[in-house]
Amino acid sequence: MSTKSRPQHVPDQVADQDATRLAAGSHPDGFSAENQGAAEPVFPNRHVAVAGGGLLLAGVALAAANMRPAVTSLASVLGEVRDSLGASTTWASVVTSVPTLCFGIAGIGAPLLARRMGINKVIGASLAVLTLAMLLRVVDGPWTVLGGTVLVCAAIAMCNVLIPVVVKESFPTRVGMATALYTTAMAAGGSTGSALTPYLNSTTGSWRLSLATWAVVALAALCVWVPATARRSSTRQVSGTASTSPRRSLMRSPLAWVITVYFALQSLVAYVVMGWMPEVFKGAGIDSTTAGMLLGLLLLIGVPINMILPPLVTRTRSQSWWAVGLAVLTLTGLLGLLLAPQALPVVWALAIGIGMSAFPLALVLISLRTANAADTGSLSAMSQSVGYLIASFGPFLFGVLHDVTGTWSASLTAIVVIVAIQAVFGVIAGRPRTI
């Protein structure tokens, strides 16, 4: 492991460098056109846009807007769904664990499907599956809801992995703008799903209808995505190639494991919050509609934070204090919920929402702690696949602890401990060095 610090690059500067390389006939991952014969594409090249237009940008935004509502909408009425179906808290714990489990598996499966079908076709098929699955999961009992949620999250996971590749390849000179739109749409979709679903539930008197409503958004994304990508193809490779020479494994790198654990813990906390926080608020005596609104506020505050945090982080030599500061905010909100949930629920929600910006920090660390594109790709795959699989246990155990104890105190205490551990790993991961 190298202990040398490396220059910190502002994302826009990286985007400019990528654009320059593209104009010169080379790839953003550092492989020149002359080396194409020595590289095997991780993703197929026949269905990736070279230069994105307005319709494709709209398709990206709409697809991103579908990556959270299917999860947060169910979370906001989970108690009503469970009671209506006569299901247990353990069943609810399994349902809330599905997203992270699917994201971990998709880290392996998405590239394999993309090689066979092409990125654009996989995303289009995923949006179609998402539309049908959101309708399917509300037609019957608890096992249908669970099976439909698995399909929903598997489809979201495919988009989650592949759309950032489309962003980088289709908008090489506007990576910052496209990424900002992508992340903003994703956060806005999640907050809207949690805030609006309880209102729809109370208005229609049916949690099935309120959840099925979000299939319309997925269908809209599909209707835009198909024509936006129908005529787009490229003879270039997609970012992320695998050299025929053996690529060094990061499994023996302590720093790689530190970053993976940090990614896993922040993901665990995030999906516990998205899956269970409305129930925690309701357990504190807050009505269902307000609880959903609080989750929406919690997620919405992340929109501006996620847009400004990465450029600020890359301008500092060490990112350790960023990790500590975000963890302290999360701890403040969690301890507030544990000790005085009804005193300042809006403040607790805002603190947790800002603290959950550990996610973009984790993504920045993947880039800053690697010295070349090959290692960045390897570390990204390792941290996201392993990290999400580890994180999938969090929502399940959070619900099981409530089932066993009958209160949310033990569950919240466990998450407080996890956030404290996350801060420690963040301090280590934030030190300026490369793998």
Split at pLDDT 50, 70, 90, the class of 4 is very low
pLDDT of residue 422: 98
Which of the following CATH numbers is that of domain 49-232: 3.30.70.20, 1.25.40.10, 1.10.3720.10, 1.20.1250.20?
Answer: 1.20.1250.20
Helical H segments across 340-357, by residue range:
345-355
Beta bridge partners of 242: 40
pLDDT tens for each residue of 119-140 = 899 999 999 999 999 999 999 8
CA–chain centroid gap for 270, Å, is: 9
DSSP conformation letters of 392-420 = THHHHHHHHHHHHHSSSHHHHHHHHHHHH
Q: Considering only 74-78, 232-236, 265-269, 405-409, which range has the smallest mean pLDDT?
A: 232-236
The domain spans of the chain are 49-232, 251-434
Per-residue pLDDT averaged across 22-30, rounded?
36
Per-residue pLDDT averaged across 64-73, rounded?
88
Higher pLDDT, 33 or 195: 195
Taking CA 241 as the corner, what is the angle to CA 258 and CA 51, rounded to the nearest 5 degrees? 110
Split at pLDDT 50, 70, 90, the class of 326 is very high
Split at pLDDT 50, 70, 90, the class of 236 is very low
Split at pLDDT 50, 70, 90, the class of 312 is confident
Beta strands in 92-132 (DSSP E): none
Rg of the Cα atoms in the chain: 21
DSSP conformation letters of 187-249 = HHHHHHHHHHHHHHHHHHS-HHHHHHTTHHHHHHHHHHHHHHHTT---SSPPS-EEESSPPPP
Which CATH class name applies to 251-434? Answer: mainly alpha
Higher pLDDT, 332 or 251: 332
Tell me: pLDDT of 1 over 50. no
* Domains 49-232 and 251-434 in one fold: yes
pLDDT of residue 288: 84
Split at pLDDT 50, 70, 90, the class of 176 is low
Pairing of strands 241-243, 39-41: antiparallel
- Name the one residue in this structure whose structure tokens are 């664990």: 97
Higher pLDDT, 131 or 303: 131
Share of the chain above pLDDT 90, in %: 37
Split at pLDDT 50, 70, 90, the class of 107 is low
Tell me: pLDDT of 37 over 60. no
Split at pLDDT 50, 70, 90, the class of 113 is confident
Higher pLDDT, 366 or 137: 137
